[in-house]
Structure 1
Amino acid sequence: MLGIIIVLVLMVMGGLIAFLGDKIGSKVGKKRLTLFGLRPKYTSIIVTIISGTLISFFTVAVMAVVNENIRVALFGLNKLKGEMNELNREIADKNKQLDEGKMLLARRTDEYNKMNERAIGMSKELDQVESQRASMENRLSSVQKAYDKAQTDVNASAAEIDKLEKTRNELNGNIKKLDHERASLMNNIASIREGTVVYRTGQVVGTGIIGAGLSRTQASAALDALLNHVNTDLRTRMNVKDKNATVMRVSQNTFEEAASELVNSKSDKVVRIVSAGNIMVGEPVVVDFAIYDNRKIFNSGAVILSAPLSSYDKGANNQGRILMFLHDVNRLARDKGVLFDPLTGNIGQLNAQELTDVIRQVNEYGGNCILTAVAKRDIYTEGPLVIDVHVEKVEE
């Protein structure tokens, strides 16, 4: 609508300019005025051009003063273009975050589906327990009737009565046991529905270093000591008051296989105790072993990675490019053999203060710098990756 109004105004002003220019030129021509010593004919033409130019100028000026959109169209296009480019970059960043959120949602949905399947399985077990309980109650009712009949029958033998009493007590005990199992299953189903997971599959529960060249007896004793230590830590984490409680389980076959791998090993071993499945609140932690050679990966002071900040995504800000550099350091250390967290994939990272100092230095240099990651101490297979990041300004 605004564009149509502007076109109509320009058409009207064009006609008015032509009319006024002609009138002014005609009057100047009739009066035979001269300008700069020119003939009246040329003076008339010049006055007509100048008057038309001035009227056009004032028309546009008045429209610019009256309407903000015209001012923007005349003088603010470059600024608008810059703002549009910035908005497009922000949209691209938000789309990237949206994609990451969708991936995380897919993983959470998959975990929920698995838990739901487990809950369905337990519901089926609960139905079976209920069926068995009902069957035993029917049997108990029959026994009770037989018992009552036996009590009233003076010819019934005492032995038969004793036998029936034992059967009744047995059935009562079974019913109580089934009631306990039913309550336990109901609690487990409620935990699964609520998603109260203490440890996830593959999560590291504890870690230890076991020396090389052990006999079978020594290897078994070392694993026992590590399991006892981790069990003590778990009791504290899970707030278990009983100091003698065993909150962790490992199968005998798993234990024997791990001990065999440690016997007469040529190097020290990193032994990780990991969760064998998703562990709910109230369940014992069923674990497995993951065993690795404990090698020195980086010497103290060794340069792990050095790269100019400008080699990373130009569209990202300085903080984003620093995080890309740290991601590359993490990946390189992982490729070299430093163990990572199975859930997050991380090996190590700068603390908040160190990261803030690096960002501040990079900003002071305007991003024209080289980042160098250096090992703070000797780094072994077990990790973690403890580093310093040096920031070196690049002279332009």
Structure 2
Amino acid sequence: MYGIVLIAVLTIMGGAIAYIGDKLGTKVGKRKLSMFGLRPKHTSIIVTIITGILITSSTLGILALASRDVRTALFGMDALKAQLSNLSNEVLAKSTELEVSRAALDAKTAEYAALNIKIKDTAAKLASITSELAVVTSERDRAASALQQVQTDYTLARGDLEKSRLQITQLQATKKELDIRVAALNESKISLESDVNRLNELTAKLNKGIQVVREGDILYRAGEILSTSVIHSSESKSDIKSSLTGTILKTNFEILDKLGIDDKKAEALWIAQADYDQAIELLANSKQDVIVRISSAGNIVYGEPVIGRIELFENHLVYAHDEVVHTEVMNAGRTAHEAEEAVLAFLQKVNTEAIKKGILPDPIQGTVGVMSGAQLYDTINKVNRYYGKVQLTATAQIDTYAVGPLKIDIQVKSAQ
């Protein structure tokens, strides 16, 4: 398509130039114009020649601009011939190298064929040697098996002898251990007989409370705290066991004192072994101090053993010294009775706020601290001195942890 367009352009352009040249020649002839002092006829001929030159020049110029091959044919023929000559020389050199490579390939092919023949011969010899080796290996294995059987029989015979000697030694050691065990069991029997007698005495003492049981007098209520202690996270597992065991023993002594039993070896407190083991594991894995509460699992009356349970709580600082626990504006009223009611209501809110903050309350009474009668009376008197609104502020007396109890100071001032 490009060639057709180029030819059309050249044709149109040549025709246009020829037409213009003809018109110029005609005008020159008619007007008898002269160039360079020539006759009009000669001038017309010169115009025609120039027109032909322009047609040829423009044709070659357009072809040269439009086609790289035309430029090469017009201006780069010598370089093209030189390049062609070089390529011919390279082809000749490559042909020579190819002939040499073919000769080398033929030599390698012949060598490869000879090597294949040698490999076949070697493979035949290898097969023969492998067959012979299999026969020899089979004979060796039979000899080794026979030798191993002889060695095994020898080892078994020697082992039986050593085993018999060892059994004799073990039986003698077992006899000594059993003798020691018999002696220990005899001692344990005597100790157990003593414990049975002591427990019988304890049972007799506990049975003294049967009349109280019939009347329904409860020794401990369900959930009542028997003892509270704190075990530190820095203790080792053995120290934790010792601390927990000490807490249980101390609680047992307190129960015996409450029952009026003098025998401190008596067991009035029963705690399940599973609860004890679980508490040890939780305490050993804790990263901070833990509150240990031993509480009654149910209502306990005189004559029954106290079934206890272990409760664990994290012990952390709840209130720092002088930290505000609760503050509120109360109506003090105008009488001592109204002042007392205001103070008691404020204390109830302090108790609720402390429980929310994290101090453990008494499960029976729901309180987190105690206040002496003198402190309560003094606070009521202070409130009674004011009429109307007073601001009560409760602050912690000391650093108080979750284990409690919370001890507070109460500041009273007018809020009028």
TM-score scaled by structure 2? 0.48
Larger Rg: 1 or 2? 2
